[in-house]
Amino acid sequence: MYESANVSDDADRTAFRRAEKKYKLYYEKDSKFSRRKKLPKPIDLSELLDFKLISQDFNNNGVLPDGIRVSKVDSSPVFCIENRPGFYFIPGALSLEEQCKWIKESLTNFPQPPNRTNHNAIYGPIADLFDSAKDNKVLVQEDLTNNKWKFYEEDDIAKAKQSSCKSVSASVLLRKLRWSTLGLQFDWSKRNYDVSLPHNNIPDALCQLAKTHAAIAMPDGEEFRPEGAIVNYFGIGDTLGGHLDDMEADWSKPIVSMSLGCKAIFLLGGKSKDDPPHAMYLRSGDVVLMAGEARECFHGVPRIFTDEKNAEIGALESELSHESGHFFTEYIKTSRININIRQVF
């Protein structure tokens, strides 16, 4: 589902695809500069829903835009889109402390075996990836026959590495981390949950947080049961193409989606990609719920903003740096993390 910023354009086949192309990151063409120095092409963001501003206007004046309604007003209002029943948006639902906690967990504990990541297919289970990247270690293929890999200090590589063995730095692997799975493990090759795979339960604190936010979208008298989660990691230029989350048994139960890190654009389409999607900002700390009919709607992320002006994570960077030091902060400056928690059965 991930694409890079250099993927060639397809034909404008559907309304959803046209919106993806409209908001995707493209660079000004200038052969004199590398991509890092190129300026992003300007885009028109005037049609995006901004639930942070909507919330401020509602709190100050009781005013809502056409087509938007409030489902619940507590410390954080919950907004809905009238023509997308089952979709709920909770702006700023997570405190800075909570955001820092789940960023750290997403980078340190969530990719740990037996949880699976996108790296499993090539390298097998990788333990302690974040700490190894922080320590400038290198992953070396020790056993070609059994595809066994091990982290080494840079100074020890020459002694450990045979001429035919491959190696890759931990920092490169961390930047290429695209997903990890918690609880019941999702098999991406078969697009289903494989209950035979070893797994740990989702952490209790994350379960409780998901239950709290899911309550408004649950059928009467039922409690959300977090059984599986997929954590997505986005870097510069990454996108998540339009898709459905349709592998869970009961679509009346919500997916609870938590945004962390750089601001993104989220597209919420309809049951066909021919339906024009709603485009909206997702900021760090926002929570989105999709239940019932909304589970049948195509959705995706065509862009994240990693420049200082638009990422809107200054307060998060300051808090994270104060709590946990430089390495977490450097990662999140150009990254977005999304935790999607599901009731599988």
Q: Using CA atoms, how far apart are residues 313 and 329, in angstroms rounded to an integer?
A: 10
- Whether residue 47 is predicted with pLDDT greater than 50 in this model: the reply is yes
- Whether residue 264 is predicted with pLDDT greater than 80 in this model: the reply is yes
pLDDT at 161: 56
Considering only residues 129 and 146, tell me which one the structure prediction assigns the higher pLDDT: 129
Q: Using CA atoms, how far apart are residues 275 and 268, in angstroms rounded to an integer?
A: 10
- Whether residue 25 is predicted with pLDDT greater than 80 in this model: the reply is yes
Question: What is the widest separation between alpha-carbon atoms in the chain?
Answer: 69
pLDDT at 29: 78
pLDDT at 142: 84
Label residue 30 by pLDDT band (50, 70, 90): low
Q: Using CA atoms, how far apart are residues 340 and 257, in angstroms rounded to an integer?
A: 4
pTM comes to 0.91
Nearest to 280 by CA among 5, 23, 3: 23
Question: What percentage of the chain reaches a pLDDT higher than 70?
Answer: 92
Average pLDDT of the residues in 186-200: 86
pLDDT at 6: 42
pLDDT at 4: 41
Nearest to 239 by CA among 22, 12, 75: 22
Binding residues for Fe cation: 243, 245, 299
- Whether residue 149 is predicted with pLDDT greater than 60 in this model: the reply is yes
Burial of 293: CB neighbours in 10 Å, binned 0-12, 13-18, 19+: middle
The mean predicted confidence, pLDDT, of the chain is 91
**Rg of the chain, C-alpha, whole Å:** 21
Cα torsion 85, 249, 190, 227: sign: positive
pLDDT at 8: 42
Binding residues: 243, 245, 299
Q: How far apart are the first and last CA of the chain?
A: 24
Nearest to 296 by CA among 279, 273, 265: 273
Q: Across the beta sheet with 299-304, what order do the strands follow?
A: 2-3, 239-243, 299-304, 264-268, 278-282
- Whether residue 10 is predicted with pLDDT greater than 70 in this model: the reply is no
- Whether residue 9 is predicted with pLDDT greater than 60 in this model: the reply is no
In 124-263, at which residue ranges do the beta strands (DSSP E only) sit?
Answer: 138-143, 148-152, 167-169, 179-183, 186-187, 192-193, 228-234, 239-243, 255-261
- Domains for the chain: give ranges and CATH numbers: 2-110+178-342 (2.60.120.590), 120-175 (no CATH)
pLDDT at 343: 96
- The secondary structure of residue 55, as a DSSP letter, is H
